[in-house]
Every structure is written in structure tokens, then in C-alpha cells.
Amino acid sequence: MSNCPNPVAALSIDPMRKTLACLFGLLFAAPLGAHPHVFIDTGLELSFDSAGQLESVRVTWVYDEFYSLLITEDMGLDPDYDGILTEAEQAELTGFDMQWVEGFNGDLEIFQKGDLLDLSGPQKISASYQDGRITTVHTRQVMSPTVVGQPLELMPYDLSYYTAYDVTLPVVLKGQAACRHRLEVPDLNEGLIELRAKLQMLDAEMTPEEEGLPNIGAELATRVIVTCPVS
């Protein structure tokens, strides 16, 4: 009988990779039984036009090593275990996380003056695999007009908190040299600490909503505040 957690044991993999998967499973068994399940380092590149309107946002996601392992194993990628994908394997990987159902917000919301901006679906999609981590990049066109001089608030987060987004990669502002940004990290007050503790106790198959918990994803989201002065 395998001692691997179910998500790993269910994969069909060769002995060497199965051993590595088991070791990862033992190291990360606790997070698999709680929320969040997936950890993503996030980067944002905002492009403005000459009038100062926000045109698009280029989003970079770098997945944690364990989830990257699960995905590559499940898709049968890198069977020679050299950490390098062939062109065919990279083509297969590209878009694996872009199959969005209708109405899905792409785990990104942009607000201005309290209004939620309308964004396109993912465009200019790419994916790579390096140092045991999957990186994907996509672009969202901003369909709503923006007000020059009014702050923009970007929130990369998952409503269900299945995935935790951490803005650790660069935030780049293109097209308007005077624009600036700052990060507002959540204040872990007593209430949020208690909610996080409750999340850790949830069964892996349960969602925060099913347990009557509030929108913990938004509560724990890092907010990217972008300001561009009127020229």
C-alpha cells in the first residue's frame, strides 16, 4: 500500500519520479488537507496608451514546485526527467490553465473609483518549465475606459482561496513614466488569523463557502495600487 497522498498516488509515473512525488507528498501533506492548495508567485505588467488610459495587463504566474510536479506528472511531461521540455511538450503545456469557464474572472479584479473594470479573456498565452516550476503568462485587455489621474486597484486572488496569489514578481508600468505603484498587504488582525486557522482545518474537498466562511480570498489578497498623475 502506498503512503503517498491520494493526489500523487493516483498518478501513473515511473519509479524514480514516483519516489520524488512521494517525498513531496510527505513534505507537503498538511497543505493538501487545507486551504490554500496551490501557491502562485504573481507578476503584473500594466500598459498605458499615450492618453494615460490603461490598455492591458500582462499576468505572470509561477506555480509552486509541488503543484508543478503534479501537473507535469499528470500530463506525462518530461519523462526523461532532465527538467527540460521538448517543443512538443511545451506546446502541450501551453494553455493548460487557460481553459476558463464562462464568467470566470481569471483570478484578477481591477477597480477604479469602486467600479469593477471589464477585462477580456486570456490572450498571448505562453508557458515554460524551469527549475521544477511551471510559469505561465497571459494578457488581459482592459475593455472599460479608465479615468486618468484616478488610482487603479488590482487584486490577484481566488474567491474560494483554493489558490493563494503572492505578488512577489515585478509590477511593471509601461507607457506612462510618471505612474507609480505600491503594494498593500493584508493586515493579519485577530479576526483574519482566526479565519486562517479555520481554513487549515477544512477537509481538502470542502470550500470556505460551504463552511459559511466569508470571502477570505479577498480578505487575504495583496492589493496593487497604481496612481498616474494627470499630465
Is 21 in the same domain as 67? no
* C-alpha span between 169 and 83 (Å, rounded): 22
pLDDT in tens, 101-159: 999 999 999 999 999 999 999 999 999 999 999 999 999 999 999 999 999 999 999 98
Instruction: Give the containing element (helix H, strand E) for 197.
Output: helix 190-201
Task: Domain count for the chain, please give it.
Answer: 2
pLDDT value at residue 196 = 65
Looking at the fold, whether 1 and 96 belong to one and the same domain comes out as no
Element (H, E) at 155: strand 152-156
Per-residue pLDDT, 174: 97
Q: Do 21 and 135 share a domain, yes or no?
A: no
Which structural domain, as residue segments, surrounds residue 141? 37-227
Q: How far is it, in rounded angstroms, from Cα 158 to Cα 209?
A: 12
SS3 content of the chain, % helix, strand, coil (to 5): 25, 30, 45
What per-residue confidence (pLDDT) applies to 205?
Answer: 60
Residue 52 sits in a domain whose CATH number is 2.70.170
Q: Looking at the structure, tell me whether residues 71 and 14 fall in a common domain.
A: no
pLDDT tens digits, one per residue of 156-212:
999 878 899 999 999 999 999 999 999 998 876 655 666 666 666 665 565 556 656
Q: What pLDDT is attached to residue 60?
A: 98
Same domain, 107 and 214: yes
Angle ∠(44,45,50) on CA atoms, nearest 5: 145
Note the pTM of the prediction, 2 decimals. Answer: 0.80
Are residues 60 and 12 both part of a single domain? no
Q: How far apart are CA 64 and CA 70, in angstroms?
A: 10
Looking at residue 81, its pLDDT comes to 81
> Rounded to an integer, what distance in angstroms lies between the CA atom of residue 172 and that of residue 34?
33
| Whether residues 17 and 111 fall in one domain | no
Q: Is the same domain home to 81 and 184?
A: yes
Kind of pairing between the strands at 180-184 and 223-227: antiparallel
